[in-house]
Structure 1
């Protein structure tokens, strides 16, 4: 008796013991599910690059502006947002902010709000009092503008925004880049609201700050109701993203469940089998959740892909077990249910086991990744795939036997008709064997040409990361026709983010490039090198240009200039050290740095690092254009760093959040691509060994795997045509196509050699294969494609991409297995000449 037959006999002869053992194991493993952190977190990606180390140095050694602070941006738009009434509206809004206890409690102590209205009102206040004195309070600013006429306010705006004026504050940083310097009209401006986040964990906001930002948005709708405006803040982004995800699933889940139940109902034509299959899926997910808890792994956005993979495999495994059981009953009506299950399980367990091993090992290859989130993805996927075998290779057949026995005793016999043997379905599935009989080489040639096209297209797939691509977007108009309970909310967060990026210079950490300048930073020529860097920045597309044509940059030159403007001693030293009259000190830099530190240590600490009396490094930061991708930013900023190093002994590293994100993205993609290659290598070796031992042909393993390679190439070509970037997100989703594709191909290949071993001619063997196993694959593919394809209706772009890519990957895996693989097997038989032997 073969090993597969002995296994099937053990499961069917001891079905109740198997059920009890697996259920106990499920309770033990599933007990860990209670320890899983239910909150979705962003996967922690880190890099050991020089750029990441430089950014750490900057954060550690420099007093970075905005530390322990988050910023909400209130954007005001209109034909002219510089009118007296518009400026007063935002001043009164600031007063309302302070009067709101929940918001006020989160504001930082020093200048919690800042806008053009404050700059104009303050200038008018000083002018009315002859200059000098402490800054006016907010109430004094409001009183000042209320006492002025429209013409007087316009005149003050004209003086404040005069490019030649020495204005207190920086109004150009708060105006849209479309503003014409010197004009008294503007189409947009920003009010900044600064909130204290002291003590908060990195990359997270305290709950009270998030709540205050949501309250701020409601307050703006009340106080600025007559003005076109919006509030953009990280807490609002998180809240709306979570809400959009919830509303998407509330809309999609019933549709997806209905589609899945409909397809499974058509395939099984037996409600009990449908429920048993869904029960098995639920148990697999319990095993996965239990593993997460026992292993102490939290849920991240990457791990969201794992349940979808497991659901797809589970549905597939259940269909194969049931359909082979039914085939055995139909082929030999004299068999009792236990014998039929024994024969059916023996015929399918090798394929399920091989698919489980190859898929699990493939995903486990990610466990060697240096990135923790990818390691967790590999471990959880591998364990979940193994759990799918335990549930559907042990529990499910044993449980079905017992349920069917009970149904027989109750006079409610189960449906025993295999899905693929139906006349219509059979004709559809027989296309592959018919093409294999008539023109196998043509089929292979067409498939390879399409794959080659996909491979070429893959080289042109964008790999840049656009953060706005993850923000929820407004629902299509047709969703307004849905019942009120299902209608989603309106989401402007993505449009608002795009507007900010296109119209304003952003100074958030994610919108800045940093330069860490190390080496002999007191040598003559150091500041000239930095000045050359400023000039180089102006020539880039990445550096943001303000309305007045200047860069929004902070560095030692700007620090020295600002301190010199307030301190005569520093100003005199700078003049003496500027030997060529270009405004940049050429020598005596150590003394100048000393004088700057003495005059304004806080400002000096932002751009000049001093340790034990020795100057170690300098920092230059520049705001970036929100419309430039991270790849371009990285390339251009590295070029600027090279320019600063040129002709000096300085070491300059371009860094910042966009650059480190780009490098992490490259590292992740490289890791995932390497994982793909390892996966294919491991699967190829395993299949070669298995088919060599069982059927005497190692080459059959490569033949079975080849359609999976073709399907992946088709998928990449489709991603290119659909203008989808190849990012970590899409790469992980594409891994699902590999996992399910290998499963489909192994089932077809294993069944074919079984049929050949039973004495059938190649085409007859292929026909029985695709009508039997192919029928289960069709039902599985249709179920998972329909279930995940409806994610295209989601409001969150990442869910839309997930649904589209998963559906396409599964469709291509199915087509490659039932259309291309039959022709490959036909040609393999002609060339290899190996006689299938199933006696092993």
Structure 2
């Protein structure tokens, strides 16, 4: 008796025990689901790299103005955002925001609002009061001042503040204006107000709940206080609206997906009880998955949302194979009892299900080698869910079906139904593969090979992207306005607002700031001269931002030394003494210059100089980059400058910062794809070779079964290229999906064919295989494609792309299994291992 027969005998002979044990185990594992963080987050993309390590070092060893804070950007858009009315509107917005207790308690103590309106009002107060002016007039005083002036007087003050030759202490007013603002002009169509909130004590990357809630209150206040096109943008708003959009998407998607699945399963099963068994198994598999996530401490992200869809598809596949093989056993011999029929059917399919479980789990688990944490989590959770699906559908479902069918039979409902695919339209469609394999297998393989080579040739030409705006919800299409009120989604403008900010203003946020980090003996002569040469190159780079006055939007040792020297005579004298060549850059006694700057402006110095054991060991240059600049361009520009600085200074210099780390993540996405594919293909090939050698003494059948799966993967790459889709953190897992599910399909076809083949009847064996096992595959593929296809209705572009790519991957895997694999098996029987079943 084979291991498969012994397994099937055990399950059917001890069905009550199997059901009881697995239900208890489900309760135990499922209890962990209560620990899953239900707050959906946008997946974090981090990688292990020198650039990421340098970025962590820079954040830990330099004190910047934004330390322990988060910045909310309030964009004032008006016909003239510098008019008296507009300036007063933003000051009143400040007052209303401070009056709201929920907002006020989250604001940082110093300079919580950075607003050009305050700069203008303060300048007007100082001009009137002269020597008696207070350094920081109150907000009420600022409002009263601007309100008391005529529009012409306000315009004159604006002109004075924005005079390119003016020198004002504190905030650079140009940093609050669009990058295309004309210096000295008294009109602008927009400006930005920064609101800084205290995040001290927060753990991880998530904002404290009170801070996130305050941002939503700021948004509501701005809607009433500011001109119509103004908006508020902050991490808390992004998180809240992204979560809401995803929830609204699934409120639309879930009923549609469920209806499609029920219709397909109803057509395939034609039996209400079997449909219910399958749905129960799906639910139990998901309980195991969420329970595992809870015990493992893995939270829900947008990427992990895809896992339940994957498990639904795989679970339905397993259920169909078990039920259809059971039906075949009863159909072939009507005298068989239910228990014997289940034993025969389960013995015939359990090896294929087990092999598919292993190979599919390996396919997804290959993502564990990814340098990107969110993709690693995806791989681990998927593998755990796939293993759970095997337990549910190879053990629990057969045992449960036996017990419940027996109960129904005792009340007069002894149901019999034919297996799906043995007749009708489905049978004729599934027979195409066998007919083609009999008539012209070489032609089929030639066409498949051409498509495979074409798809593989463009793999390296597909772009990579980790643009965070891809994960932001977009406004719903017009047709959704006709949905019932309960299903109508909200209006979203996050993407438009994010793109406007990136294209219009200098962004101080991490995503728009690149860093040059110098580490080592940063006091050696020539270090600052090398930085000066690098600064000139940065000013000419395509990805960096220059302010309206032509200066580079950067904060570094040179900028800090110049600013402090301009207001401190002691520092100015030391700089002049240390500048031996008269170019304005100190080139000797740098430790004395750094000490002087620290003594005069410790907060400013701490942002650009870092000390270890009393010695200066690192310098930091932060450069604003254009929001529209590609990470690859930013990384190339900064790395080129870093090489120049290191060469001229002799100090180790590395380009880092969020844009550079994002580029490294992009490369990690491609690495995930390539390594995941190679690992998956290699492990699966070895496994299939062992399995088929052990069972049938064939060393080549494993490669034959895997070949169409690889072909389908190449077809998918070609489709992505033609559709203009990039490798992203969600499409990077397509190798695992395509191979994992594709091998599942191919194993079922290959295993069933060899079981039917006696060494002489390849055509008949293929016909029985495709109308038997093929029927279950057709129903499974249809439900899975439908389940993923409805993601096209999502409001989040990343979910739409994922649904499209996965649906195409599954469709290609099915077509390769029922069209290409039969021709391969036909050729295989002619030339090698022909006596495999003799």
Pick the TM interval, shorter chain. over 0.9
Q: CA deviation at 1:374?
A: 5.0
Q: Hey, what's the Cα distance between the residues in 2 that align with 1:42 and 1:240? A: 11
Matches within 5 A, 1:567-646: 567-646=568-647
> What is the SS of the residue equivalent to 1:506?
coil
Conserved? CA contact 1:734–1:805, under 8 Å? no
Q: Is the 8 A contact 1:433 1:767 kept in 2?
A: yes
* Cα drift, residue 300 of structure 1: 4.1
The correspondence of residues 101-120 of structure 1 with structure 2, limited to 5 A, is: 101-120=101-120
Question: When the two structures are superposed, what TM-score results if normalisation uses the length of structure 2?
Answer: 0.96
Residue equivalent to 1:200: 202
- 1:101 is displaced (CA, Å) by 1.6
Structure 2 equivalent of residue 229 of structure 1: 230
1:289 to partner: Cα distance: 2.6
Work out the CA distance in 2 between the residues paired with 1:708 and 1:90: 60
Distance in 2 between residues matched to 1:415 and 1:327, nearest whole Å: 10
Shift of 1:425: 1.0
When structure 1 is superposed on structure 2, of 315-324 and 572-581 the one drifting more is: 572-581
Q: Is 1:16 matched up with 2:16?
A: yes
1:332-351 mapped onto 2 (5 Å cutoff): 332-351=333-352
Identify unmatched segments of 5+ residues in structure 1: none
1:426 aligns with 2:427: yes
Structure 1 counterpart SS, 2:730:
helix
Q: Return the offset for 1:471.
A: 0.5
Is the CA contact 1:519–1:649 (under 8 Å) kept in the aligned structure 2?
A: no
- Shift in alpha-carbon separation, 1:112–1:160, aligned structure 2, 3 A: same
What's the counterpart of residue 756 of structure 2?
755
Offset, 1:237: 0.3
Determine the structure 2 residue equivalent to 1:213. Answer: 215
Aligned to 2:188: 186
Structure 2 partner of 1:360: 361
Q: Is structure 2 residue 752 aligned with structure 1 residue 732?
A: no
Once residues 533 and 68 of structure 1 are traced to their aligned partners in structure 2, the CA distance between those partners, rounded to angstroms, is 30
Written as runs of structure 1 = structure 2, the 5 A alignment for 1:333-732 is: 333-367=334-368, 375-667=376-668, 669-732=670-733
Question: In structure 2, what is the Cα distance between the partners aligned to 1:576 and 1:28?
Answer: 74
Cα separation, 2, equivalents of 1:436 and 1:229: 65
Give the superposition deviation at 1:321.
1.0
> Residues 370 and 94 of structure 1: is their aligned pair in 2 closer, same or farther, counting only changes over 3 Å?
closer
How far apart, in 2, do the equivalents of 1:245 and 1:347 lie?
42
Gaps of 5+ in 2: none
Give the match for residue 57 of structure 1.
57
Offset at residue 378 of structure 1 (A): 3.8
Provide the C-alpha distance between the structure 2 equivalents of 1:582 and 1:3, rounded to a whole number of angstroms: 84
Partners of 1:768 and 1:48 in 2: CA distance: 51
CA contact (8 A) 2:565 2:572 kept: yes
Distance 2:240 2:475 in 1: 15
Partner of 2:566: helix, strand, or coil?
helix
Instruction: Give the Cα separation in 2 of the matches to 1:386 and 1:236.
Output: 38
What SS class does the counterpart of residue 232 from structure 2 fall into?
strand
CA distance in 1, matches of 2:96, 2:527: 48
Shift of 1:548: 2.8
Residues 760 and 22 (structure 1), Cα distance of their counterparts in 2 relative to 1, 3 Å cut: farther
Counterpart for residue 74 of structure 2: 74
8 Å contact kept, 1:173–1:546: yes
Report the CA distance between 1:382 and its aligned residue. 2.8
**C-alpha separation in 2, matches of 1:527 and 1:376:** 44
8 Å CA contact 2:712, 2:809 repeated in 1: yes
| Cα displacement string for residues 790-822 of structure 1 (whole angstroms, at most 9, x for unaligned residues) | 011000122212211221111111011011111
2:151 equivalent in structure 1: 150
In 1, Cα distance between equivalents of 2:777 and 2:429 = 13
Rounded to whole Å, the distance in 1 between the matches of 2:26 and 2:61 is: 52
What residue number does 1:810 align with? Answer: 810
CA positional deviation for 1:475: 0.3
By how many angstroms is 1:689 displaced? 1.7
After superposition, the Cα gap between the structure-2 partners of 1:252 and 1:370, relative to the gap in structure 1 and judged at 3 Å, is: closer
SS across alignment from 2:458:
helix
Q: 1:199 to 1:718 in 2, by over 3 A?
A: same
Structure 1 contact 536–643 (Cα < 8 Å) conserved? no
Deviates more, 1:572-581 or 1:243-252: 572-581
Point out the more displaced range, 664-673 or 584-593: 664-673
Alignment partner, residue 84 of structure 1: 84
Post-superposition Cα deviations, 1:66-118, rounded to whole Å, max 9, x if no partner, equal 10111111111133211111111111111111122211111111111112211
**What secondary structure is seen at the aligned counterpart in 2 of 1:705?**
helix
Distance 2:12 2:56 in 1: 61
Shift of 1:613: 4.1
Shift of 1:646: 2.8
CA separation in 2, counterparts of 1:42 and 1:87?
Answer: 35
In 1, Cα distance between equivalents of 2:721 and 2:123: 54
Q: What's the CA shift for 1:606?
A: 1.5
Q: CA deviation at 1:284?
A: 1.4
Q: Offset at 1:44?
A: 6.0
Change (3 A) 1:637 1:356: same
Higher mean alpha-carbon deviation, 268-277 vs 323-332, is at 323-332
TM-superposed CA distance for 1:121, in Å, is 1.5
Please give the per-residue CA displacement for 1:436-490, whole angstroms capped at 9, x wherever unaligned.
Answer: 1121111111112112111122111111211111100000111111111111000
Alpha-carbon distance change, 714 to 584 in structure 1, aligned in 2, over 3 angstroms: same
1:146-295 pair list within 5 angstroms: 146-168=147-169, 169-224=171-226, 226-295=227-296
| Cα distance in 1 for residues equivalent to 2:300 and 2:40 | 6
Q: Structure 1 residue 509: deviation in Å?
A: 1.7
2:796 corresponds to 1:796: yes
Aligned-pair CA distance for 1:328:
1.9
> Number of paired residues?
836
Q: Per the alignment, in what secondary structure is the counterpart of residue 130 of structure 1? A: helix
Equivalent-residue separation in structure 1 for 2:250 and 2:9 (angstroms): 43
- Give the superposition deviation at 1:365: 4.4
Q: Hey, what's the Cα distance between the residues in 2 that align with 1:357 and 1:588?
A: 65
Matching of residues 764-779 of structure 1 within 5 Å: 764-779=764-779
Normalising by structure 1, report the TM-score.
0.96
Aligned residue number for residue 328 of structure 1? 329
- Structure 2 equivalent of residue 25 of structure 1: 25
Aligned mates of 1:73, 1:227 — CA distance in 2: 16
Q: Indicate if the aligned counterparts of 2:35 and 2:295 stay in contact, CA closer than 8 A.
A: yes
Change (3 A) 1:31 1:122: closer
Deviation at 1:343, TM superposition (A): 2.0
Deviation at 1:174, TM superposition (A): 0.5
Distance in 2 (alpha carbons) for counterparts of 1:586 and 1:27: 71
Deviation of 1:46 (Å)? 4.7
Residue 421 of structure 1 aligns to a residue whose secondary structure is coil
Alpha-carbon distance in structure 1 between the residues aligned to 2:516 and 2:108: 28
Deviations 1:119-148 (A, max 9, x none): 221222222223664122222221221121
Residues 585 and 678 from structure 1, CA distance in 2 versus in 1: closer, same or farther, beyond 3 angstroms? same
Cα distance in structure 2, aligned partners of 1:133 and 1:566: 19
Offset from partner CA, 1:727-762 (integer Å, 9 cap, x none): 2321224422221111100000111111113x7621
Match of 1:821 in 2: 821
Secondary structure in 1 aligned to 2:649? coil
Distance 1:334 1:645, change over 3 A: same
Q: Taking structure 1 as reference, are residues 21 and 648 closer, same or farther at Cα in structure 2, changes over 3 Å only?
A: closer
Give distance in 1, aligned partners of 2:6 and 2:455: 44
